[in-house]
Amino acid sequence: MEKVAFKEHSTEEVLQRLKNKDDIEIVDVREPEEWEAGRIPGVKHIPLGEIPIRLNEIDPKKETILVCRSGNRSGKAAEFLTQKGYNVVNMRGGMLDWTGDVERD
């Protein structure tokens, strides 16, 4: 399968978009234990392996930013969703580079 180009934002760009209250949704694709350890407040959690069966939870028209630990898994999700026609952006650097607020269980 050929690689599909998708949009990417740095963590700083995502943080700025949140501060601007842009009309975006954020989906964290990490595993449950990673998500529970710390996440961007208010994000939706759909582990990478569940994305194909939970597509109905992502609005294809709304810009959705995908997040993981480092940007690799969210990049895979971005590639998959872009192929399906979704409007997605990968957050480069992931939670390792995130400097904004973090919510924990």
- Alpha-carbon distance 67 to 96, whole Å? 10
Question: Catalytic one among 27, 68, 77, 91?
Answer: 68
Residue 74's region, left for phi above 0, alpha for psi from -120 to 50, else beta, is: alpha
Q: Spell out the alpha helix ranges (H) of the chain.
A: 11-19, 32-37, 72-83, 94-97
Catalytic, 40? Answer no
Q: Pull the structure tokens for residue 70.
A: 């480092």
- Alpha-carbon distance 78 to 95, whole Å? 16
Q: Please list the active-site residues.
A: 68
